[in-house]
């Protein structure tokens, strides 16, 4: 299918005559450097990863050469002591028999880790697809069962770059973890991440005593220094470390050593109620958007949501023709724009429940408009969806006032 614009919360019909015939083998190469109108990337064809990333729009090199790792490097980490009878105690050991009411946390910040990166590239392919360029590398990597497959996609119609990977974990019971590393050349950066629709600055907007070694994020992580920034969408893998490897360090505060995202894809470090080995297929995906200027929370949320909901829903070509023809393209409803986020749209009998969040520090007016679905009535609800206040529908639109960071639940009846 060619690049196709689809309206928000809507659909577009693509005629059969617009579909393209594509043969993969006719558009393949082994070039180490690939580029489109926005970016030029140079790959390491010996051991994998991205050596150079030149941003043509921003005239900036995004790979931090001083980090010791290429961008998109796979790292296998394990407890260095392979002979200890219970190696997790090298990381952590709680003294359950302590007489203290508030027991020590049990972490051992000086634990020794063995970290390894891929040994060599087994295959390097560049494919010219109808919608962009795909670079695929097959690597011999430590600590996994079989080969590591990493791909990088540069779309024709967008300014982001997406990194994907898959591999299989083995059946070892020795405590281990896997990472994908993204060291960005961005001096004096501030880190932020998405926590339930809120932009959090680690170490500043957290309560004392929380974990600073790693973070669980909703849709994105961002690094920005006031002049340049980069947003990393995390649609599939929410666990991250920032700046350097920090698991088990039991940090009392947060300091960002460098603008490096460590996508923490797997680990078996915990002493808890699941089996010590976790074999099977692992997939990871990180979408990266460089930009100029100061951090924009609304844009970060939008970028994260676009990555999380980018899979198109396709109807088959042989569906029956409706009695009332629909237009070639359209939206069901016209949803509010950022910084108001649409958290949820749920059809229930004769109405639709819409949950909105004002993801900003200022009051906002959110407008919900009719599309293909005409609005007969609306009500503001409590958090459980029970109506508490009727809303006026004027010219097919509903307007609601939202306080800073407020969640609003609306019930909309179909005409």
Q: What is the pLDDT of residue 317?
A: 66
What tokens does 135 get? 């670079």
What is the mean pLDDT, run by run of 10 residues, along the chain of 415 residues? 82 85 78 97 98 98 97 98 95 84 86 97 93 95 97 94 98 96 98 92 92 96 98 97 97 96 96 86 98 95 91 72 82 92 89 93 95 93 93 94 95 91
Q: What is the pLDDT of residue 312?
A: 73
What structural domains and CATH numbers belong to the chain?
10-308 (2.70.98.30), 332-414 (2.60.40.1180)
CA distance linking residue 154 with residue 164, whole number of Å? 12
Q: What is the pLDDT of residue 152?
A: 98
pTM for the model stands at: 0.91
């Amino acid at each position: 299918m060619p690049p196709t614009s689809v309206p928000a919360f809507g659909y577009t019909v693509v005629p059969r005559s617009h579909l393209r015939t594509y043969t993969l083998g006719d558009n393949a190469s082994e070039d180490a450097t690939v580029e489109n109108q926005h970016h030029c990337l140079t790959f390491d064809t010996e051991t994998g990863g991205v050596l150079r990333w030149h941003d043509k729009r921003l005239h900036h090199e995004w790979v931090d050469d001083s980090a010791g790792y290429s961008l998109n490097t796979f790292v296998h980490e394990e407890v260095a002591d392979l002979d200890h009878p219970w190696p997790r105690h090298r990381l952590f050991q709680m003294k359950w028999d302590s007489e203290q009411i508030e027991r020590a946390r049990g972490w051992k910040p000086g634990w020794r880790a063995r970290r390894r990166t891929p040994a060599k590239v087994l295959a390097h392919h560049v494919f010219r697809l109808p919608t962009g360029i795909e670079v695929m590398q097959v690597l011999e990597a430590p600590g996994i069962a079989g080969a590591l497959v990493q791909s990088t996609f540069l779309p024709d119609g967008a300014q982001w770059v997406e990194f994907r990977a898959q591999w299989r974990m083995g059946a070892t019971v020795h405590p281990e973890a896997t990472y994908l590393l993204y060291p960005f050349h961005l001096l004096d950066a501030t880190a932020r991440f998405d926590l339930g629709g809120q932009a959090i600055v680690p170490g500043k907007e957290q309560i004392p005593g929380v974990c600073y070694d790693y973070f669980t994020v909703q849709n994105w992580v961002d690094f920005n220094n006031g002049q340049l920034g980069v947003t990393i969408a995390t649609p599939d893998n929410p666990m991250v470390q920032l700046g350097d490897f920090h698991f088990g360090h039991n940090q009392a505060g947060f300091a960002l050593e460098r603008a490096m995202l460590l996508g923490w894809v797997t680990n078996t470090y915990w002493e808890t109620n699941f089996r010590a080995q976790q074999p099977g297929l692992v997939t990871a995906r990180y979408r990266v958007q460089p930009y100029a200027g100061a951090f924009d929370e609304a844009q970060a949320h939008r970028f994260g949501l676009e990555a999380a909901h980018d899979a198109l829903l396709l109807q088959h070509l042989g569906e029956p023709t409706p009695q009332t023809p629909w237009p070639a393209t359209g939206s069901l409803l016209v949803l509010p724009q950022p910084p108001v986020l649409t958290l949820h749209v749920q059809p229930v009998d004769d109405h639709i429940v819409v949950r909105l969040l004002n993801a900003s520090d200022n009051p906002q007016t959110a407008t919900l408009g009719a599309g293909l679905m005409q609005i007969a009535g609306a009500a503001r609800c409590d958090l459980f969806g029970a109506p508490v206040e009727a809303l006026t529908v004027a010219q097919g639109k509903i307007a609601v006032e939202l306080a800073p960071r407020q969640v609003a639940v609306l019930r909309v009846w179909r005409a």
